[in-house]
Amino acid sequence: MPASRSVVIGVDSSTQFTKAAAVDADTGALLAVGRAPHTVTGTAGARESDPEEWWTALVTAVRSAVRDADVPAASVTGIAVAGQQHGLVTLGPGGRPLRPALLWNDTRSAPQAAALAARLGGPEAWAARTGSVPVASMTAAKWQWLREHEPERADAATGVRLPHDHLTERLSGTAVTDPGDASGTCWYGTATGAYDREVLDLIGLDPALLPALAPTGATRVGTLAPAAAEALGLPRTVAVAAGTGDNMAAAVGLGLGGAGLLDHPVVSLGTSGTVFAATRARPAAPGLAGFAATDGAGTYLPLGCTLNCTLAVDRFAALLGLDREDAAPGGGDGGGVVVLPYLDGERTPDLPHAAGLVTGLRHGTDPRAVLGAAYEGAAFTVLRALDGLLAACGLDPAVPDVRDRPLRLIGGGARGRFWTDTVRRLSGRPLVVPAAGELVALGAAALAAGAATGSYPVALATAWGTGVGEVLPALPRDEETWDRIAGVLTAATPTLLS
């Protein structure tokens, strides 16, 4: 590829891996993907990672992507990071982390979240002003946990960042965030588009420690800092975008947003399960994360999130000695097995101290039915969150026009046959499974191209066709399985799940 052609790099820094996609900015062609792993540590609700390892992984993944794409470094014109949301990164002298980051799925801050939710007028007031009610995953609750459990580190902090903020600052030397990822902190007001000073006062967080707010994730915040350019082997002229959270980047990659698809639901099956849609509405409902979108077109990205999805089901497969695809529906010969695979506690429903629950076992229960029930329990929990999301956006999930809109199924689980079959059976909806497998990285690449050219990233992704894929027709909804799981969840809450 000649150096005059533009290549952009989209970085997906997730819980367990960094992926860097080298993309032709003109056509959206995915030229190569570099990968590098992260380490997650912790027990008894703790989940932490070293942000320095994220940076090392980013450098490794970007260098690999550029090498494998076989493009000259001079052809790279832009880079953007999409990161796992909610994580708390505390910085000290020289902008280096004071301690490992508290990740989104660290549930130790559940007591702090509950205490915060009772303040400022209660859950409804929190949802109205910040879009979300504090739960263990939210960054405000994690900061409060740090203040209570490690006050010397909280006092020593010279900067507080989200994961993608930290990496963008390492790339550009600029402390900046975007509205999308900032809206997952509970200290950003989606109603005002600014940090909420009353919340910051409540949690004792000096606003001077926070990054500046860029208008969009595609805002050009600078070019590569000298140390970053040297580490990546790229020219200093590469534009750095503000970047965003992973869910917001996936939405961009799917073409969701202003001048794109509105009110079209997405189900993402990964370590966590998420449901979201780009909408003009600004829903304020407890149990829902009322995020801002990152495209700067007056849109929001309300999202429901479950903690236990593909990783939890894989754990059941390992316990049973089965391959992940060697499953059978839980209501088959097993006689009605129900699994609530809440191995890491749960966020939606808000059961941070829950453990996994298995019921309905008999002597003749087929282990494959138990594994199938784990799939069903995880998919039910995600789809139940979807119904709540649609209702909060003023859409009736039972109305034909809403019910018949296809679900866009993404994430690692979207590549699994049994995952796809289970979602089709329990949702009763048609599915679109995008052919592109790296939608977060591709969305980040569209943000990078926006920073390099000034183009609107959702329009770019739409032109690239990254959200296009196979359409699977609807199956009749399995009401019997749905009602069986719902009955167990109701009966077990809160007695067995708290």
Q: Concatenated DSSP letters for 404-428?
A: TSPEEEESGGGG-HHHHHHHHHHH-
Span 27-59, pLDDT tens digits: 999 999 999 999 999 998 999 999 999 999 999
Range in 252-261, 328-337, 455-464 the model is least confident about: 328-337
Q: Is the pLDDT of residue 417 over 60?
A: yes
At CA 116, angle to CA 112 and CA 121, rounded to 5?
165
At 296 the pLDDT is 85
At 476 the pLDDT is 94
How many residues can be counted in the chain?
498
Torsion sign over Cα 96, 99, 100, 101: negative
Concerning whether 246 is annotated as a catalytic residue, the answer is yes
Residues of the chain with pLDDT > 70: what percent? 98
Span 393-407, pLDDT tens digits: 888 888 988 888 899
Find the mean pLDDT for residues 273-279: 93
Catalytic annotation, pick one of 24, 181, 196, 246: 246
Q: Is the pLDDT of residue 17 over 90?
A: yes
Range in 132-136, 329-333, 382-386, 432-436 the model is least confident about: 329-333
Q: Is the pTM of this model over 0.85?
A: yes
Range in 162-171, 387-396, 455-464 the model is least confident about: 387-396
Confidence class of residue 352 from pLDDT cuts 50, 70 and 90?
A: confident
- CB atoms under 10 Å from CB of 3, counted, come to 12
Span 215-272, pLDDT tens digits: 999 999 999 999 999 999 999 999 999 999 999 999 999 999 988 899 899 999 988 8
At 184 the pLDDT is 95
Written as six digits, the tokens of 172 are: 């550009």
CB proximity list for 316: less than 8 A, separation 6 or greater: 339, 341, 370, 371, 374
